[in-house]
Amino acid sequence: MAAIVWQDVLDVATIADATNFNTLTLGQQTKVLGLVEELVNFRAFGGDGSFRYLMARSWLAAHFAFVTFNGNLLKGAVSSRSEGGASVSYTNLFTTNPKLLALTVYGREFLTLVEVSPYARAGFVLGRRG
């Protein structure tokens, strides 16, 4: 199975975002790529080696890179609140929840690929087995 590399993420990013994505540490890049490799089912996007599979992983990785770089700007939905110590918790943005994917152009591009794939639309986007 052909793994994606960081250059695949930079290739789908805007120039400004690509510059920002390159400031992520090697560890952050590796985590983003590893998460995407585990999440995206190759069968949902035309099989291993297909262009759609490469693009699905690249768009999703760019979404996660954007969230990593801009984590202080983007927040998921409020998941809990406290009053005594003024604490607010937000949902995890590193999910494939369509509402959270829709927060970035990259997530929306990933969702577009899901929409045009019958297998992906059937809910078999995640996981290697399917």
Query: What's the domain count of the chain?
Result: 1
- Does 85 fall in a domain? yes
- Does 130 fall in a domain? no
Beta-carbon contacts of residue 73 (< 8 Å; ≥ 6 apart): none
The pLDDT, as a whole number, for residue 117 is 85
- Please spell the DSSP secondary structure of the chain, one letter per residue: -PPP-HHHHHHHS-HHHHHHHTTS-HHHHHHHHHHHHHHB-GGGGTSTT-HHHHHHHHHHHHHHHHHHHTTTT----EEEE-STT--EEE--SSS--HHHHTTSHHHHHHHHHHHT-HHHHTT--BSS--
Q: Say what the pTM is.
A: 0.77
Q: Are 33 and 3 in contact (CB under 8 A)?
A: yes
- Does 29 fall in a domain? yes
- Does 129 fall in a domain? no
Q: Which domain holds residue 107?
A: 6-121
Give per-residue pLDDT as tens, 58-105.
Answer: 999 999 898 877 764 445 455 556 677 666 554 445 566 788 888 889
- Does 1 fall in a domain? no
- Measured at the alpha carbon of residue 23, what is the angle toward residues 18 and 25, in degrees to the nearest 5? 125
CA distance 14 to 65: 12
Give per-residue pLDDT as tens, 8-58.
Answer: 999 999 988 998 898 889 988 998 899 899 888 888 888 889 999 999 999
Q: Are 87 and 93 in contact (CB under 8 A)?
A: no
The pLDDT, as a whole number, for residue 122 is 63
- Does 32 fall in a domain? yes
Give per-residue pLDDT as tens, 93-109.
Answer: 556 678 888 888 999 99
- Does 44 fall in a domain? yes
- Does 68 fall in a domain? yes
